[in-house]
Amino acid sequence: MRFHALPALYLHSCPNCGGAVESYRLAEGLPCSECLPRETAGGDIKRIIEDLRRRNALRELAPLADNLRRYEEIGGLFERVVGFRMWGAQRLWARRLAAGKSFAVVAPTGSGKTTFLLVSALYMAGRGKALLVFPTSALAYQAYRKLLDYSSRGGLALRIATYNTMLKPQEREEALRRIEAGDFDILVITSAFLPKYFDLLARHKFAFVATDDVDSVLRATSKNIERLLKLLGATDEVLGKAFELIELGKRRGKALLAGDEKEAERIEHEIEKAREELRKMREELRLGVFIASGALAKARRTARLLLFREILGFDVGGRAEGLRNVYDLYVKMSEDPKAQVAELVKRLGAGGIIYVLDREFGKELTQHLQALDIKAEHFFRPRRKVLEAFEQGQLSVLVGLASSRSALVRGIDLPHVIRYVVFVGIPKFKFRVELDEFSVPAFLSFLYNVRAVLPQDLRFKADRLIARLRRIAPYSARLDKILREGASNSFEEYVLDVARSAVEFAADLLSRGDVRKAIETSTEIKLTYIGDQLYILLPDATTYIQGSGRTSRLYAGGLSRGLSVILVDDEKVLNALIREMELRFDDVRFEELSKADLDSILRGIDEDRENIRRILSGRLRPEELSSRDLMRSVLLVVESPTKARTIASFFGRPNMLIIGGMPAYEVSTGDSMLTVIATMGHIFELPTSLQRIGESERNKVWRLVKPVAAGPYSPMDYSIVKTEAGYVPIYNKIYKCPGGSYVDDSDVPRDCRPLDIVSTLRELASEVDAVYLGTDPDSEGEKIAYDVYLMLRPYIGLIKRIEFHEVTRRAIMGALASPRDINLSMVAAQTVRRIEDRWLGFGLSRKVQEAHGLAFLSAGRVQTPVLGWIVERYENSRAERKFDVVLRIDSGQIRLALPEDVYRSLKENGRAIVSLLEERTEAIQPPPPYTTDEYMRDAVNRLGISAEEAMNIAQDLFESGFITYHRTDSTRISTTGIGVAREYVARRHGADAFKPRTWGAGEEGAHEAIRPTRPIDAEELRGLVAAGVIQPTIRLTRNHYAAYDLIFRRFMASQMREAEVVVAKYALSLGGFNAEVRRVVEVKREGFLAEYRSVEVEPRLPVGEVGVEIAYAKRLVELLSQADVLRMMRERGIGRPSTYAKILEVLSRRGYVVIRGRRKFMIPTKRGIEIYRYLKENYGKLVNEERTRLMEKYMDDVENGRRSHVAVLDELFTEFLQEVLAKKGDAAPRGGAARQ
């Protein structure tokens, strides 16, 4: 991506000197023009470094130069000893090793992890001793032999030693002697050796330690973490400080949970202090490099693992169970399932696993297959020889249990062998509601599924019980013993109490007739009698995912294809399984076996297996697989930490790196290594004044930019320089400290060490093959992406923009596959808005502050007209004397605004004449899905929250993957959205209730309306979160669920049939005052009203002269609510979706309005009225509605490429000079707002 950068200067951002740098230099991949002359060509960082070195000007790029040199050394060694160049992920790891970083490696089969560890040991042995830890003696011995070979090929004179059980006794004795004497450069050991002979190892400090399977190292004891750190040079003092940090982190978490923000802030300062002390200790010790290869089992995660984070700066992730590329097929089970399985195996061939529900049936099936000359064997317990025969092709299929504890479900990883699985019956939980049959997964599944049909009180109890079950879930393995032998301590008593409570609650539910009937008619739970015993049947989705996942594994070519066939023994359980699978995976699709193209499926599966076998045997190099660079490393930059965590979670439990105090999440997507990091919003802003930046930096600004005289305008005051060519904004880094963010150098607290986001991004970018910018899909997001692009351009050549409108796995994968360039028109539009806000906002604000003597006052092109609406409505309302009156007529009520005289007369006589004008049937069309302003209006009116809170909640829901992008003025719905609605409406209301509409006809752009990303309503979402099926990266509050419910129902209504209602129209006469009343008196066809109640049915009114009772009356002051103002902003073209809430928040924060009542009425204060009058009288031309609307149109034209941004800035600057700088406003009235 190359483009002509918009003129700008970025302070403290030159990659070499750290000073101000021109935007065009950054875009060309160059440091500032003072570091290198203009004629130097950019694009090649090595050539730039050499040019700087020749000029004796190499400064902050010197460490990168050293890293590049070491990377080339590693690459050269790799090619010499292995025979080919590093590829994909190996390049990423080599760059980190060259930088002296410790890190975790989780990568697929065939990605060259072990080879890389061996080459790394050879390279690091030149800097000190290296230690390699393998899970088994066989692997350790193989690695030792290969190291000897590699060392010979590389011409390295290294002493390589090993200790493992494959050595002869005298060889083991000799190895121990060498280890004791330090007679080695590289030592290869097993996991078992580490604790047994640690005292021997501890005599030496290691420059490099790597574990080939970190899970096996920790399996024996988590204390091995401390042992490994001590071998790298960590002292007891360092470990103690790290443990102190871990404990402080726990205390901060508890304080936040308790809502004690002051205590949390105090602990945060303690953490910062302790972290700085630990950093200094680490620098003094110069710890060795540690590489942890492999993933951790979930149950293996302990507090000690945080030592890796605090001391070495990374976390070890978990297995990527969520990645699968499986064809899910099903067929009805025949009366002879054994014969049916045999036919399937003959059709599918070798490399199969058959999962059965019963051990005895499995043995019979195995014998049946063997009798038909099918090479089969059962595998109900680990049998090494059977597994070896299967791997070598001597057996075609293995038969095992469909259970999460089965060795064939979890304990086998043969991606080059396993092609398909067959489930003889759906894996399921089948249990009675008895304590001796209790299991946590089964009862969790039951309560999650049953909660949807429970009344509110029972649903609340179910949710509390689900939470307790989730707490004891990690201890399920001990549960059988506790149930059998009883509790032996207080914790086991708690576990037993939870189990008893779950059983009692389930039994109580099944004893209730209404609940029992609801369960029997549901699609998720099956009740059946076996003999006279009642059993509950539920799908065991976890076992299905893990079992079918044996066929689809990550390898160097991506995610291998696999096949799963279910012989369906219960259609209801199948439907429930499909439903749960669809909730867990975006792209899962079940298909009938008879309709699938089996030949084509098998060809693809076999192609992947052949590639995996060739990679493992060394006959195929990864780069030969495709013209694509497989498993390349990609840095994905987003703006929100929540969004970063959500995206990373789609691909399993990520590794975490801590770079410069910022977390980055690393996962494998199947064909790339993805590192996700957040900028935490904008990273640059205009300083409030150039006087408030450092003097040396300010002097450099005037050397790089030549201003032209422009009357009374001073660029020092506005941080925008007028030049002969146009305008140059001066951007400063946003300093982000624990207590707040700052844009001026002089404001940064002395005790703050701000996050250096730019340096962190540059460090990560220098390690990867490509950078993708995934900020929000609007002009603000485009500007963040543009700024990041400029900061990273000197460090990496391939930088692309990706755009997604929902945070789902499907959307992210689609965006990664279709990157684009930065949209400069959108960046220009954002730049114009920011400059206009600085000129007009700062200029008018200073006039207001001078006139009223208050430094915090403000004004703006949008803010002031909106304040005017509020003031004028308030004043007009006070001039009229009206009453808000609720009349009770018979059983009905009518609300009217009555003049004072009519109200007084009605109080006296209490009579009215009612006439029926007409009554007719009408069709009511559903409302369109939400735009930003409509959503905020409903959130304010219906939920009683502020517009600002509504937007914050929508931001959380978007970043957590629950709704599409929430800053939009479009009502358009995509085909994906229509599919979401079709599934939900058909399931909940029947297929006839669905009526698809795309809305937004003729709208430009890719934006959609706000809609849910999945067909899950708010109540089901609450249950899924409670049960742990969905695990959001933030805590969802009651308001989150309420806002989601609004969005969900409004969208579903927009895709449903119209309602048919009876409307009655009445004439009402109140002593000469006449009014017309229209009300819905009957619903004939509910249609969309079943989801979104936009009208209420009211009783018919009696006709004739009737008695009237005043039920409620109050003096009416017709104020604007926040919802009213939002509607007016949209209708009148003032403001944008991204700024609606901010405008209202500023008016309140400045004390111009106060917010009252549930409907959030906006009442102008005395200060607000005086400020508005002052601005209207003195600067009315600038802040009137028409001019503001015209400027919005100009900026839209810039964004769409229809108008030059420089031309717009010229007009704005002329207006600013004439209407603000050259004009003196009158002072505020004496005794006015200045005293408030």
Active-site residue list: 965
Map residue 1154 onto helix, strand or coil.
strand
User: In 669-739, where do the E strands start and end?
Assistant: 672-678, 684-685, 720-722, 727-733, 735-737
What is d(CA 166, CA 186) in angstroms, rounded to the nearest whole number? 18
Helix (H) or strand (E) holding 1071: none
Among residues 798, 684, 785, which one has the least CA distance to residue 13?
Answer: 684
What is d(CA 932, CA 1130) in angstroms, rounded to the nearest whole number? 9
| Alpha-carbon distances, residue 182 vs 90, 130, 898, 1112 (angstroms) | 30, 11, 98, 93
Q: How far from the centroid of its chain's Cα atoms is residue 101's Cα?
A: 26
DSSP string computed for 265-300? HHHHHHHHHHHHHHHHHHHHHT--EEEEES-B-GGG
What is d(CA 125, CA 158) in angstroms, rounded to the nearest whole number? 8
Helix (H) or strand (E) holding 825: helix 824-836
| Alpha-carbon distances, residue 548 vs 296, 357, 566 (angstroms) | 21, 15, 10
Among residues 514, 530, 537, 534, which one has the least CA distance to residue 449?
Answer: 537
Q: What is the largest CA-CA distance in the chain?
A: 117
CA torsion sign, 304 to 310 to 311 to 313?
Answer: positive
- Alpha-helical runs (H) found in 221-351: 224-231, 236-257, 261-285, 306-307, 337-348
Q: Which residue has the tokens 């409302």?
A: 927
Question: How many CB atoms are closer than 10 A to CB 810?
Answer: 15
Per-residue b or e along 659-688, where b marks 16 or more CB atoms closer than 10 Å to that residue's CB: bbbbbbbbbbbbbbbbbbbbbbebbbbbbb
Long-range contacts at 22-28 (CB < 8 A, ≥ 24 apart): 22/704, 23/790, 26/790, 26/791, 26/793, 26/794, 27/2, 27/3, 27/789, 27/790, 27/793, 28/793
What is d(CA 603, CA 227) in angstroms, rounded to the nearest whole number? 49
| Alpha-carbon distances, residue 1214 vs 88, 452, 917, 1202, 1218 (angstroms) | 54, 63, 60, 21, 6
Rg of the chain in Å (alpha carbons): 35
C-beta separation of 351 from 422 below 8 A: no
DSSP collapsed to 3 states, 574-637: HHHHHHHHHHHCCCCCEEEHHHCCHHHHHHHHHHHHHHHHHHHHCCCCHHHCCCCCCCEEEEEE
Among residues 504, 382, 367, 498, which one has the least CA distance to residue 434?
Answer: 504
Among residues 444, 441, 437, 432, which one has the least CA distance to residue 480?
Answer: 437
